[in-house]
Structure 1
């Protein structure tokens, strides 16, 4: 096979750099879409290309070559791929496929469990208030979803900040943010180099919800204050399962893409003017995905030509 097959394996190395740019310079809704789409496309393309490389090892095995009416000797002579590279690709694509299937199964179970839990919760206009002194608030995806808020959180925030909290959580449910997280994590599961994209999506969905709350309430400063107060109040509260809920604070861990944690960065973003859609970054992301798609299609064509040459045509 020729060199096109390697391009989708190299482009994921740009994930850390690209994720940082999109998170800090692009409007969060668009950034979330671009990051998630990039994770899915790059994850699928890299897995496909690993599979194509692995196929060149399979056709060199006499037993499989005979079943496919290929010439194993011709495959060894006509295919420029080193056998060691092809065998390594076979191991990697097998591991990626297994990890991807396990992740899909776990995520599907989590989403179904969350939907069942949400349907069983007694709610008023989608809101469930639980008697708990520990401050906490999160959204439970479902049909319909539920917003769960503890009395401790309500006591922590002022009356006007309750609307901000609800607007933030309703934004999570309305935009189906759990699906963005799931798809981004699927790409990162099959290709670990894409983990910065998935990690950044968990941040940009929170920024998306923050901006939606700011639009609803009309006061970015109040939203920043509410986010900061909630963060301080919940610093000792155990985090919920990421696969089942979407909390107002987002993932309670440091973001590896920046020195500051996600909450201070969100507060700083709310105190600054809103970010724009940044057409330059959008075009650059589109160019990377287009190159990935072209290279994958070219690699498939190269394999077709190889199979034709060794007798599959």
Structure 2
């Protein structure tokens, strides 16, 4: 490095190593994303279904909502004001394996119908979830660990140049001294600068493929727009499983009164039931 002062050779070498490490990360991540880019090009050319688009955007809750609204929009399923989904007799078979599986699962429920939250957990809808897993885009959701690896390379460069320069007696760049304390401060300054450069890499929780994700969101939102706001609100009314609130310990049981009989708060049987049996007593109820 004839164009670099001799006193700077060690520093320049470690900084060059940091640059090379980041270039290598870029090439590696570029090659790893080759299959994803090919998949995106195929979807952009052939089109993407509403369920796969919704799964690419937000997964479970959003995907179930879009899938049900697609069936409602096609006249395959109808939804009551309470959010109960029932199949429409004689309706045409929907397009796509996931929607067909979902329509069959809802139809098998008969007049009792189904609720939106059941799609994600109930064993009855296992066929729908299996078809959904096969229809997923398969694209990786989040960015690579480039920022962490680049920060590690920057830390190694800062520490390495200091540990190599101190025994060699090399002066600190821009300072006419080779004092150890000065090298420690220089190391921290280099680490701070390289950390700022490493921040150019996206974080690990950053979503990949922004333009494709936006395309998928528009596709899914178009499916939701096929139903009226009132229908969409009815679908979402049963989006989450209801939570049964447990009465506080020692509180009065429903139906208990202050009079005599089984509802009497001073009954010894209630005291035994509450404090002696606990959860170990066998009962005949559900």
User: Which of the five TM-score ranges fits, normalised by the shorter chain?
Assistant: under 0.3
Considering Cα pairs closer than 8 Å and 6+ residues apart, tell me whether 1 or 2 has the greater RCO.
1
> As a proportion of its length, which structure holds more helix?
1
Normalised by the size of structure 1, how large is the TM-score? Answer: 0.25
Normalised by the size of structure 2, how large is the TM-score? Answer: 0.27
